[in-house]
Amino acid sequence: MEKTRFHALDAIRGLALLLGLLVHGSMSFWPGLVELGFPISDTSKSMTLTVMFYVLHMFRMTVFFLIAGFFAHLSLHRKGSRAFLKDRMKRIALPMGVAWIASLILIVPVTLWAASKLYGAEYMNVLQAGQESAPAGPALMHFWFLYYLLLFYFIAVACSKFLSKLDAKERLMNAVTSLVYFMCRSRLLVLIATAVSTWIFFLRENWVF
């Protein structure tokens, strides 16, 4: 497969990540943040920034994963499974691990210090209660999306291997591709995605996180 650079998609993916700076920078201005167990909270509150956070968060990570999946599909077919996984470990897993360790060293002491000043002697209990109310998963802080991206990569490789043996003539894959293409062109997909998302959020008591 010819190696082609999609500069427009690269720009969109970069913009989605840069919006993360704006999104996370606005979090300290949420009303009621201290009650949720976040010790770093600005004295000035802004509902405008709070609404902006949720509006951007509704599509920002979805766009990122969609474009990342598109590029991963091209890379997997061009490089093959082994080279693709090796490339993902070098370009995703290794930077994630290094940045995570650096973030722990920089963020955790500051958070504990701020919590001790705000909550007093009970600050560890407050932080623990806030952590228990958050979605379960590895304590990767803001690198959770790279963790899930790696999971999706491994699942994609496993499915690709399985389908190549099960469907050597690619009849099933062509049928699935046609179905996905039809759904993406149909406005009905928006209603289906909205209904599924609404139901998932309804089932989660802590959906605000």
Check residue 18 and give its pLDDT.
Answer: 87
Residue 122 belongs to some domain of the structure: yes
Eight-state DSSP code of residue 37 = T
Residue 161 belongs to some domain of the structure: yes
Residue 129 belongs to some domain of the structure: yes
C-alpha distances in Å from residue 16, one per residue of 65, 74, 97, 143, 145? 10, 20, 21, 15, 13
Print the domain residue range for 148: 61-166
Q: Which long-range contacts link 145-154 to residues 24+ away (Cβ below 8 Å)? A: 145/61, 145/64, 145/65, 146/92, 146/93, 146/96, 147/96, 149/65, 149/68, 149/92, 150/88, 150/92, 150/93, 150/96, 152/65, 152/69, 152/72, 153/72, 153/84, 153/85, 153/88, 153/92, 154/85
Total of domains in the chain: 1
- pLDDT tens digit sequence for 139-170: 777 788 898 999 999 998 998 888 888 877 77
- pLDDT tens digit sequence for 8-56: 888 888 888 888 888 888 888 888 777 766 777 787 888 898 888 888 8
Percent of the chain that is helix, strand, coil (3-state, to 5)? 80, 0, 20
Check residue 84 and give its pLDDT.
Answer: 93
Residue 105 belongs to some domain of the structure: yes
Global confidence as pTM: 0.74
Residue 92 belongs to some domain of the structure: yes
Residue 139 belongs to some domain of the structure: yes
Residue 74 belongs to some domain of the structure: yes
Residue 147 belongs to some domain of the structure: yes
- pLDDT tens digit sequence for 167-208: 777 788 788 778 878 877 877 777 887 888 778 777 776 555
Within a 10 A sphere around the Cβ of 115, how many other Cβ atoms? 20
